[in-house]
Amino acid sequence: MNIDYLQETFGLRGRTALITGSGSGLGHAIAASLGQAGARVVINDLDLPRCEAAVRELARQGVEARPAPFDVSDHEAVRQAVADLAAAGWAVDVLVSNAGNQNRMPLVDQAPEAWRSLFKVHVDGAFNCVQAVLPHMAARGGGCIVLMSSVAAVASMPGISAYASAKGALAALTRSVAVEYGEKGVTCNALAPGFVRTRFTEALQEKAQFNAFLEDSVPLKRWAEPEDIAPAVLYLASRAGRFVNGHLLAIDGGLLARM
């Protein structure tokens, strides 16, 4: 296939991407994928040393990156960080709202504080970031927003009521942004990964019973790796995905097809 066609269709040269929760795990894999496609990437994490380590690793791969440590649940901190990026010539063209947390417990045991903690990071965090970048994107004629939802937004399981509810809210927010800002040239989509092998899921990876369930339930019979998810973000952020809007894309090895 013609290299120029690939670069024109899937390349991100000249674009700046902010990926929240990208100091490690899935977020870092997404940052690497977008960076390899030519984007400048902004690495966000709560921890500055982790941000800086991720930036150094990407630099060794030839990716231009900079750290932006802030708490996505802090509305003013997000607004200021996005404004500072724009002032430094790093206005955000692509936002990937990936930062998240988890707790696993029966619904009746869920303390209100634990419930609110998940919504604060997943839902408030996405809202804060989306609200901060939209004016910049609209002023420049467009942009791309990808929210990290989950298959749990569609088919839940015991013990993740708060997580599933928050991910369902992100799917709804995706549709709202797509409808409200499509005319401004901004696309908004969500990914619904299945079970991804990261530090986030270590507790499940160590359970033989859960691994047996996963092998029975996922037609591809394995965990997803971060590198299985990241290219979907590249597709949505590139010209190849420019007419995809308001969509929840499942990347689950066929899990939802069987459930």
The predicted-structure confidence for 120-136, as pLDDT tens digits, reads as follows 999 999 999 999 999 99
Helix%, strand%, coil% for the chain, nearest 5: 55, 15, 30
Whether the Cβ atoms of residue 91 and residue 136 lie closer than 8 Å to each other = yes
DSSP single-letter state for residue 89: T
Residue 33: closest CA among 242, 252, 227: 227
Q: 43-50: list long-range contacts, CB under 8 Å, 24+ apart.
A: 43/19, 43/67, 43/68, 44/18, 44/19, 44/20, 44/68, 44/69, 44/70, 44/72, 44/81, 44/99, 45/21, 45/69, 46/70, 46/71, 47/23, 50/23, 50/24
Of the candidates 5, 163, 181, 235, the residue annotated as catalytic is 163
Quote the tokens at residue 106.
């029966």
Whether the Cβ atoms of residue 132 and residue 179 lie closer than 8 Å to each other = no
Predicted confidence (pLDDT) at residue 202 exceeds the cutoff of 90: no
Q: What's the predicted TM-score (pTM) here?
A: 0.95
Predicted confidence (pLDDT) at residue 203 exceeds the cutoff of 90: no
Determine whether 19 is exposed, middle or buried from the number of CB atoms within 10 Å of its CB (0-12, 13-18, 19+). buried
Q: Residue 40 has what pLDDT?
A: 98
Is residue 163 among the annotated active site residues? Answer: yes
Confidence of residue 4 (pLDDT cuts 50, 70, 90): confident
Q: Residue 1 has what pLDDT?
A: 56
